[in-house]
């Protein structure tokens, strides 16, 4: 069926040559665009310590806005730690210490005058295990909106909830039971609820720490589709152990090893021709 459709499509399109010329042109335009991309998140010589132990070694990285970036690497390589430095979630660990800069829209988030609470609104986060609050579906979304005083009226609040749920592709599944407990949702729905909750406070960057590792393949696919859609409006950074997932959803991939950023490039380059041997060894499973 699929094959048939494809063939029919082909017959209706322009001749092959015309298409090729067009493609060449487009890819050139893309490349030029890539150069002009605005950098949203930038790490400058970032070191991170848990007490005496150094977990990240002078990370330098520029992540363009409105793109999906995947962090890959073996367990304990520092990818999650690095992700958590981006919204200062590591601050709550007493022994944690950061050196260097993280720039969010050219503003150092570790500068002394930065309001951490507001920073965390701007840089949302979704976790490995879904974390619905023990409240109704509606109140889960409302929580962040109310805390940040984003809605001026009851109607506006309801609109924002609806919009967030729609953006997270959850609205149709829950619109008739908004007052049910969020804990009654399935794992995949809970995870999308958490994404909706994050979207509701209008962040600029969304961090995801292995958002699909506890989900079945179908729920995973839905989240992945969502991530790809989110790229239109947000800068998404996702930590994943699943390399196929990284290759499916991301535009850029960063490979971490032993607290160091080994390689950062367009995903397609990382997965077809990585420059570093360590990257090649990791993604082809030669590691260890």
Partner 1 sequence: MRKLIDKFVFTICSLSTVLVLSILALIIIYIFANGVLAINLDFFTKLPKPVGEDGGGMVNAIVGSIIMVTLAALISIPISIGAAIYLSEFGKGFLATIVRFLVDVLAGVPSIVIGIFVYTIVVLPMKRFSAIAGALALAIIMIPTVVRATEEALRLVPQTLREAALALGAPYWRVVLEIVVLSARSSIISGVLLAIARIAGETAPLLFTALGNRFLVTVLDRPMASLPVQIYSYAVSPYDDWHRQAWAATFSLVIFILLINLSVRFFFRTKE
Partner 2 sequence: MRIIEADLNKLKEKINLMGILTQDAIEQVVKALVERNTELSENVITADDKIDVLENEIDKLATDVMVLRQPAAGDLRFTITCLHTAGIIERVADHAVNIAKHIRVINNEPPLKPYVDLPKMGTITREMFRDSLQALITGDVNLARLTIRRDDQVDDLFHLIYDELLEVMQKDPTTVKRGSELLFVIKHLERMADYATNICEMVIYMMEGKVIKHTQEAF
How far apart CA 253 and CA 265 sit, in angstroms, is 6
Which of 55, 87, 90, 93 lies closest to 73 in space, CA to CA?
Answer: 55
Residue 265 within binding range of partner 2, rule CB under 8 A: no
**Measured between alpha carbons, how far is 22 from 35 in angstroms, rounded to an integer?**
20
C-beta closer to partner 1: residue 197 or 248: 197
Decide which of partner 2, partner 1, none touches 164; Cβ closer than 5 to 8 Å per partner kind.
none
Which spans of this chain sit near partner 1 (rule: CB under 8 A)? Answer: 87, 89, 92, 94, 117-118, 120-125, 127-129, 131, 133-135, 143-144, 147-148, 194, 197-198, 201, 207
> Can you tell me the distance from the alpha carbon of 173 to that of 143, in angstroms, rounded to the nearest whole number?
20
Q: Give the one residue of 10, 95, 179, 244 binding partner 2; rule: CB under 8 A.
A: 244
Under rule CB under 8 A, residue 173 binds partner 2: no
Q: How many C-beta atoms lie closer than 10 Å to residue 216's C-beta?
A: 11
Who's near 255: CB < 8 A, 6+ residues apart? 72, 73, 261, 262, 263, 264, 270, 274, 276, 278, 279, 282, 283
* 279 lies in the binding site for partner 2 (CB under 8 A): yes
How big is the chain by its Cα radius of gyration, in Å?
21
Contact of 107 with 57, CB cutoff 8 Å: no
Say which entry of partner 2, partner 1, none residue 147 contacts (CB below 5 to 8 A, set by partner kind). partner 1
Residue 112 interacts with, from partner 1, partner 2, none (CB under 5-8 Å by kind): none
For residue 50, the partner it binds in partner 2, partner 1, none, with Cβ less than 5 to 8 A by kind, is none
Stretch that binds partner 2, among 41-49, 152-160, 207-215, 278-286 (CB under 8 A): 278-286
Residue whose CB is less far from partner 2, 194 or 246: 246
Site residues for partner 2 per CB under 8 A? 243-244, 247, 270-274, 279-280, 283-286
């Amino acid at each position: 069926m699929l094959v048939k459709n494809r063939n029919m499509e082909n017959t209706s399109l322009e001749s092959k040559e015309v298409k090729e010329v067009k493609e060449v042109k487009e890819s050139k335009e893309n490349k030029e665009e890539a150069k002009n991309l605005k950098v949203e998140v930038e790490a400058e010589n970032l070191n991170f310590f848990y007490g005496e132990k150094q977990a990240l070694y002078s990370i330098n990285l520029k992540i363009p806005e409105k793109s999906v970036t995947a962090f890959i690497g073996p367990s304990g390589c520092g990818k999650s730690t690095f992700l958590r430095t981006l919204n200062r979630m590591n601050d709550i660990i007493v022994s944690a210490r950061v050196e260097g800069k993280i720039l969010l829209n050219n503003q150092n988030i570790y500068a002394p005058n930065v309001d951490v609470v507001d920073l965390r609104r701007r840089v949302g986060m979704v976790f490995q295990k879904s974390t619905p609050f023990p409240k109704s579906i509606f109140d889960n979304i409302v929580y962040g909106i109310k805390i940040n005083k984003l809605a001026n009226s009851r109607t506006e609040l309801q609109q924002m909830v609806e919009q967030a749920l729609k953006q997270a592709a959850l609205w149709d599944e829950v619109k008739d039971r908004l007052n049910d407990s969020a804990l009654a949702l399935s794992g995949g729905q809970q995870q999308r609820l958490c994404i909706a909750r994050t979207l509701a406070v209008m962040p600029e960057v969304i961090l995801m720490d292995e958002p699909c590792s506890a989900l079945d393949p179908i729920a995973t696919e839905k989240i992945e589709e969502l991530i790809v859609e989110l790229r239109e409006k947000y800068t998404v950074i996702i930590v994943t152990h699943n390399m196929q997932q990284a290759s499916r959803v991301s535009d850029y991939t960063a490979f971490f090893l032993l607290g160091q950023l080994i390689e950062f490039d367009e995903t397609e380059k990382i997965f077809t021709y990585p420059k570093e041997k360590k990257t090649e060894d990791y993604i082809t499973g030669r590691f260890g």
